[in-house]
């Protein structure tokens, strides 16, 4: 994507695997001051409704096809085209160094279209456990793996279920969860911490971007993805957020234009659950994960207690 287009999204710290880094950072998440000191562990103080496909209406305009919580059924078509470049740079900055130090295995929670998975494969010689329950994202992930060498594919185990159902036990010395924690409701989030703790070896490290800490005050425009040209067509997306019943609703409206005319407009809505620093710290500690210094100001980190 062109630099001018990228600059339109405000780079506030911290989707989910499907929303993408740029969108989640714009939701509003933990400030740099929330990153914990590099000293000792920290205590606990600190589904779908589908409307008809887009079609011309009687007024000659394009109707909007909309999905609500539909496992990225709409977003997967546009995700890599509009977000892969930014997500790949962030994945390298956030996770590559930790991946280089991994020796036994790496867990990728919410692997999505595989951007982070590919970064981990490139940075490390360790086997990768890629967990992705959403079938549309998994299809994109497998397409990405198909383009890699056979030696890299041989190091990936794909788990087509949630981390809570994957049943992994002490398989990794590094776990990453990129763009996923915010999209878990509190009960699911707590179950995910438990599953990640079991999957980590003693002393293993977890890196993740945390959820937003508060609700927006009203409906707000977050920014725009694109434009990106494919042949004669221009692809883009507008993103808004709004509070709703104690959660954040993120709405992605995708559009495809040709010669100044909208060919398609599709929308997908996601839910994000805010959580405070003290809530996250308490949840992690309850599962034997001690919050430690993170390598990046927009991440949090925790280690499974050593035996």
Instruction: Check: pTM over 0.95? Answer yes or no.
Output: no
Most confident segment among 11-15, 58-62, 140-144: 140-144
- pLDDT tens digits, 35-87: 333 333 443 333 222 223 333 333 333 445 555 555 799 999 999 999 999 99
C-alpha span between 268 and 55 (Å, rounded) = 17
Per residue in 46-56, pLDDT (tens digit) is 322 222 333 33
Kindly state the DSSP code that residue 78 receives in the 8-state scheme. H
pLDDT tens for residues 256-297? Answer: 999 999 999 999 999 999 999 899 999 999 999 999 999 999
C-alpha pair distances (Å), 144 with each of 92, 108, 123, 226, 256: 17, 15, 16, 21, 23
- pLDDT value of position 65: 52
- Exposed (0-12), middle (13-18) or buried (19+): which is 33, by Cβ within 10 Å? exposed
Average pLDDT, the chain: 83
Q: How far apart are CA 110 and CA 100, in angstroms?
A: 20
Partners of 66 in beta bridges: 267
pLDDT at residue 38, rounded to an integer: 35
What span, in angstroms and rounded, lies between the C-alpha atoms of 4 and 290?
40
Rounded distance between C-alpha atoms, residue 21 and residue 49, angstroms: 26
Specify burial of residue 217 (Cβ count, 10 A radius: 0-12, 13-18, 19+).
exposed
Ordered DSSP codes for 211-239: PPSS--SS-EEEEEEEEEEETTEEEEEEE
pLDDT of residue 67: 54
Question: How far apart, in whole angstroms, are the C-alpha atoms of residue 228 and residue 34?
Answer: 35
Who wins on pLDDT, 5 or 256? 256
Residue 66 has what pLDDT? 53
């Amino acid at each position: 994507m062109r630099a001018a287009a990228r600059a339109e999204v405000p780079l506030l710290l911290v989707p989910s695997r499907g929303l993408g880094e740029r969108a989640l950072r714009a939701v509003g998440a933990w400030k740099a001051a929330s990153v914990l000191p590099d000293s000792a562990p920290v205590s606990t103080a600190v589904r779908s409704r589908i409307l008809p496909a887009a079609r011309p209406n009687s007024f000659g305009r394009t109707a909007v096809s909309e999905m609500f919580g539909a496992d990225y059924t709409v977003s997967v078509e546009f995700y890599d085209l509009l977000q892969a470049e930014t997500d790949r740079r962030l994945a390298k900055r956030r996770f590559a160094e930790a991946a280089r130090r991994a020796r036994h295995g790496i867990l990728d929670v919410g692997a999505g279209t595989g951007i982070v998975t590919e970064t981990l494969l490139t940075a490390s010689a360790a086997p990768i456990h890629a967990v992705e329950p959403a079938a549309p994202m998994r299809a994109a992930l497998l397409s990405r793996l198909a383009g890699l060498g056979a030696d890299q594919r041989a190091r990936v185990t794909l788990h087509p279920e949630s981390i809570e159902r994957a049943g992994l036990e002490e398989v990794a010395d590094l776990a990453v969860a990129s763009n996923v924690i915010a999209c878990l409701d509190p009960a699911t989030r707590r179950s995910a911490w438990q599953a990640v703790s079991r999957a980590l070896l003693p002393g293993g490290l977890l890196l993740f971007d945390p959820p937003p800490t508060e609700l927006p005050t009203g409906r707000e425009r977050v920014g725009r993805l694109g434009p990106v040209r494919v042949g004669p067509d221009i692809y883009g997306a507008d993103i808004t957020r709004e509070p709703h019943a104690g959660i954040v609703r993120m709405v992605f409206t995708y559009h495809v234009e040709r010669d100044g005319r909208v060919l398609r407009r599709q929308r997908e809505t996601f839910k994000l659950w805010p959580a405070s620093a003290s809530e996250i710290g308490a949840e992690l500690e309850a599962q034997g994960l001690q919050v430690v210094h993170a390598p990046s100001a927009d991440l949090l980190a925790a280690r499974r207690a050593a035996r």
